Amino acid sequence: MTSTQSVHDGAATEGIWAAPGRVNLIGEHTDYNDGFVLPVALPHSARATVRLRPDGVLRLYSEQGDGEAVELVVADLAPGSVDGWAKYPAAVVWTLRAAGYDVGGADVHIDSDVPTGAGLSSSAALECAVAVAYNDLHGLGLTGPELARLAQRAENEFVGVPCGVMDQMASACCTEGGALFLDTRDFSQRHVPLDLAGAGLRLLVIDTRVKHDLADGAYAELRAGCERAAALLGLAALRDLPAAGLDAALDRLPAELRPLVRHVVTEDERVLEAVARLDAGDLAGLGPILTAGHASLRDDYRVSCPETDLAVEAAVAAGALGARMTGGGFGGSVVALVADTALDAVAEAVTAAFTAAGYAAPRTFTAVPAAGARRIS
Ligand code: GLA
| Domain map (residue ranges) of the chain | 5-194, 197-367
Positions marked catalytic: 167
Whole-number Å distance, alpha carbon 327 to ligand 1 midpoint, is 6
> Which residues make Cβ contacts (< 8 Å) with residue 180, sequence separation at least 6?
37, 38, 39, 40, 41, 169, 170, 173, 174, 189, 190, 191, 192
Ligand 1: which residue has its CA nearest to atom 2?
A: 163
Average pLDDT over residues 75-103: 97
Q: Is the pLDDT of residue 2 over 80?
A: no
- pTM for this predicted structure: 0.96
Q: Does the pLDDT at position 4 exceed 70?
A: no
pLDDT of residue 1: 35
The answer, yes or no, to whether residue 123 has pLDDT greater than 60, is yes
The DSSP H or E segment spanning 212 is none
Q: What is the pLDDT of residue 216?
A: 72
- 3: exposed, middle or buried (Cβ count in 10 Å: 0-12, 13-18, 19+): exposed
Distance 162 CA to ligand 1 centre (A): 9
CA of 29 to the centre of ligand 1 (A): 6
- CATH code for the part of the protein at 197-367: 3.30.70.890
Per CATH, 5-194 and 197-367 having the same topology is answered no
Cβ(164) to ligand 1 under 6 A? yes
Please name the fold of domain 5-194. Ribosomal Protein S5; domain 2 (3.30.230)
28: Cβ below 6 Å to ligand 1?
yes
pLDDT tops 80 at residue 212: no
